[in-house]
Amino acid sequence: MLNRNAICSGAYLESFDSLPSELLWTQAQIDASLAQTLRQRPHDGNV
């Protein structure tokens, strides 16, 4: 189950162990996705 404790401890990462490595994003891909998402949000309000 995904919850605050699983996120804080990193325990949720264990659920990715069974996935093929080519499906996992690199840190660079994660960073680029985050940057793209933030560019698309409205600049005049809450996130």
Integer Cα distance of 12 and 29 in angstroms:
19
pLDDT reported for residue 26: 92
Residue 6: what pLDDT? 92
**Phi, psi values for residue 13, rounded to 5°:** -65, -25
Residue 47: its pLDDT value, please? 64
- Residue-wise pLDDT for 1-47, tens only, equals 889 999 999 998 888 889 998 999 999 999 999 999 989 988 887 76
Q: How crowded is residue 36: how many other Cβ atoms within 10 Å of its Cβ?
A: 9
Position 8 scores a pLDDT of 94
How many structural domains are present in the chain?
A: 1
Residue 21 belongs to domain spanning: 4-40
Residue 26 falls within a domain, yes or no? Answer: yes
Residue 5 · residue 11 · CB < 8 Å:
yes
Q: What values do phi and psi take at 15, rounded to 5? A: -70, -15
45 is a domain residue: no
What pLDDT is recorded for position 4? 94
Question: What are the residues whose beta carbons fall under 8 Å from the beta carbon of 41, sequence distance 6 or more?
Answer: 47
